[in-house]
Structure 1
Amino acid sequence: MPFSISAAVGFIALSGVAVLDGLVMLSYFNELHEEGKSVRDAVIEGSLTRLRPVLMTALVASFGFVPMALATGAGAEVQKPLAIVVIGGLLSSMFLKLILLPVLYSWLEKE
């Protein structure tokens, strides 16, 4: 599928959602660490606490874009690239937020 304006709009929307979710998770890690928890404990507790909201955000938004991705009527050539970018990006960013972000935080944050 070629890169189009609607795919670019999808990337812009996706970056906003992904960055906001990541910042919320990082701020929660910092909050727990400032309360006196070790970095490891803050990452574990923060990841477990934020697991359900991250999953719900990504899955509900992805399921909401499925009708756009499967559309065949008028305007489908504009809707499909946007929906495919957002669905793929939300699902991949969900795994990155739940796996890579905690690992990087615990690796880079000082005790």
Structure 2
Amino acid sequence: MLIKNGIVLIEEIDLMRDEGMPLKSAVVEASTSRLRPVVLAAVTTILGMAPLLSDPFFASMSVTIMGGLAFATVLTLVAAPVLYCVLFRGRAPAKEEHRSQ
């Protein structure tokens, strides 16, 4: 789920840049539009693990999964756009002719 969220976010930034949107505007717009779906997917999974907290055998595993998922979601929503800006700040968006070849 986390990898998919990161890929979808980066792909949406790429699509907006291909439409001619400036880098920072594309990153902000894509991050804003993907915020709710990514957070809701993570929250539902975290809440789905909550019943395991009362089981002594699965409690430590569920805490680890819940914490890791929460941290990775924040990382996806913050670090991925920042790294995209850093890595692609001097490059023009790819043209459609080059992508099809």
TM exceeds 0.5? Answer: yes
Please tell me whether residue 92 in structure 1 is matched to residue 76 in structure 2.
no
State which of 25, 28, 38 in structure 2 corresponds to 1:44: 28
Q: CA deviation at 1:80?
A: 2.8
Q: Deviations over 1:34-66 (max 9, x none)?
A: 111111111000000001001101111101101
Deviation for aligned residue 1:104: 0.6
Letter in structure 1 aligned against 2:50: V
1:106 aligned onto 2:90: no
Q: How far is 1:108 from its partner?
A: 0.6
Q: Which amino acid in structure 2 is aligned with residue 94 of structure 1?
A: T
User: Which digits, 9 at most, give the CA deviation of each residue in 1:9-28, with x for residues without a partner?
Assistant: xxxxxxxx211111111111
Percent identity (aligned): 29
Residue 62 (str. 1) matches residue 46 (str. 2): yes
Aligned residues: 90
- Residues 65-84 of structure 1 deviation map (CA, whole Å, 9 limit, x = unaligned): 01112224xxxx1x334322
Q: Distance in 2 between matches of 1:25 and 1:67?
A: 30
CA distance in structure 2 between the partners assigned to 1:33 and 1:82 by the alignment:
41
My pick for the range that moved more, 95-104 or 44-53, is: 95-104
Q: What residue ranges of structure 2 are gaps of 5+ in the alignment?
A: 93-101
